Structure 1
Amino acid sequence: MNVKIFYTKFTRDNRTAILHKWLSFLPFNLQKINNQLYNEEDKVRNLLGKLLLVEALQSFGYDSISIENMKYNQFKKPYLSQEFDFSISHSGSYVVCSMGKNVNLGIDIEEIKPINFLEMTPIMNDSEWKNIEQSENPLKEFFRFWTLKEAAIKAEGSGFFADLDKIIIKEPVIQLENKTWFSQELKFDENYSGHIVTSDVQSHFEVIYKGFI
């Protein structure tokens, strides 16, 4: 299956210009939602995620599908059609959107920054914590596991209802809720960790950068 991954990056210097230039491209109701977000960073991340989704739709020939018609499953996972799946993630200065036809998928990117491991104890199982503690770079290893798990629960569709410590990771294979998923690492920036997870072991990934300045 062909899976496309669109990504973009913004900075503190250009985020205001991006909002002024591109917000009007969203349907009016989505503009209102965007304007209700608390700070400018959240606004530009939300906007860029929607713009990347439009790019993905157009690349698959779904020009007639409007992101205004977003629906949600029982676990609040968004979808537009049963024919394809998409996933959006953002952290720091990066925003990513993946899409594939006849495949389930999830994507996650996280900025690698200091955290309190004690507060994260329930997220990992004992084996994962051992790997993290023995790693040359424990912080990077933590976020590797974190993005794998987040991408998997996005693909599976259960979101926050999933038990993160019950996810079994044996890269590239991930077991979640008696289902098998397949992972691929994303390498956009050494200061970020990212993964995409799909239901098809033969997924082919096309990574596309899109600028909005």
Structure 2
Amino acid sequence: MNFIYLANINNLSWSVLQDQKKILSHSAQLDIEKYKFEQDKCRSLVGKMLLLYSLQCHEQLQQSHLPIIDYGLYRKPFIHSMKGHFNISHSHDWVACVYSSNGEVGIDIEHIKPVNIIDYQDVMTGNEYQRALNNPNFDFFQLWTLKEAIMKAQGQGFYLSPSSFELPFPFYNDEIVEINHTRWFVYSQSFANEYKLSLASLYPIVENVQVIPLQLDQFWQ
């Protein structure tokens, strides 16, 4: 099962939020303070708050601080003591954390805004680029969030080039994309009018996903 927790940080100030750093280790707190802009600090910390909440809900974590987060070869975060898997994404006013009990998972959200497709030719295959130019039903933000979700689930991030694999068109949820002999089920939806959210999982998603918006004060520490 995949549980996607979402929080809106619009109008959330760092002066109000920063006390919640206490859920993190000292080194993790210092990492957040390295961000130049307060909204980036908020996004990073809220992602960790959502992760802690998901561990308390699904793994009966009793403590009020987040376990140490480690990083794989390509910088994918993981927690040794976790039974499940997680991934975090944020864009503009929204932060998302997915908890999966079904193996590795990747999530991406993006704020939809006007783009010049020509500027993004390098992240698409030749077929995808031609569809982007010529097909009125082509959804660039669906394509991009799906690709990034797969790249994150695979654990390679941008070490796996987004132009090295192609997504089905037209796209339907629970399509399968194979990367290096791993079959990823992929899922995408719109939310909050101006955002696209996509997920990649080792198992079918449509019947195994819950999207849960949260008010941050409901799990304020």
Unaligned runs of 5+ in 1: none
Q: Quick one: distance in 2 between partners of 1:62 and 1:71?
A: 20
Aligned to 1:176: 179
Aligned residues: 209
TM-score (norm 1): 0.88
- Counterparts in 2 of 1:72 and 1:62: CA distance versus 1, 3 Å: farther
* Secondary structure in structure 1 of the residue aligned to 2:96: strand
Displacement of 1:22: 2.6
Q: Shift of the alpha carbon at 1:33?
A: 1.5
Could you say what secondary structure the match of 2:29 adopts? helix
> Which 10-residue stretch deviates more, 19-28 or 53-62?
19-28
% identity of equivalent residues: 27
Residue 212 in structure 1 maps to residue 216 in structure 2: yes
**What RMSD over aligned residues (CA atoms) do the two structures have, in Å?**
2.1
Mind listing any 5+ residue stretches in structure 2 that lack a counterpart? none
2:65 is the counterpart of 1:61: no
> Which amino acid in 2 is paired with 1:181?
W
Aligned to 1:91: 91
Query: What is the DSSP-based 3-state SS (H/G/I as helix, E as strand, rest coil) of the residue aligned with 1:14?
Result: coil
Superposition TM-score, scaled by structure 2 size: 0.85
What is the CA distance between 1:68 and its match in structure 2? 4.1
Per the alignment, residue 3 of structure 2 pairs with 4
Is the 1:18–1:212 contact (alpha carbons within 8 Å) kept by the matching residues of 2? Answer: no
- Tell me which amino acid in the other structure corresponds to 2:108: D
- Aligned equivalents of 2:94, 2:40: Cα separation in 1: 12
Structure 2 residue matching 1:103: 3-state secondary structure:
coil
Does structure 1 residue 156 correspond to structure 2 residue 160? no
Output one character per residue of 1:75-132: Cα deviation in whole Å (capped at 9) or x when no partner. Answer: 1111013632110000010000001124111000011123343332111012111222
| Separation of aligned partners in 2, 1:211 and 1:154 | 26
Match of 1:16 in 2: 14
1:101 equivalent in structure 2:
101
State the distance in 1 between where 2:41 and 2:190 align: 25
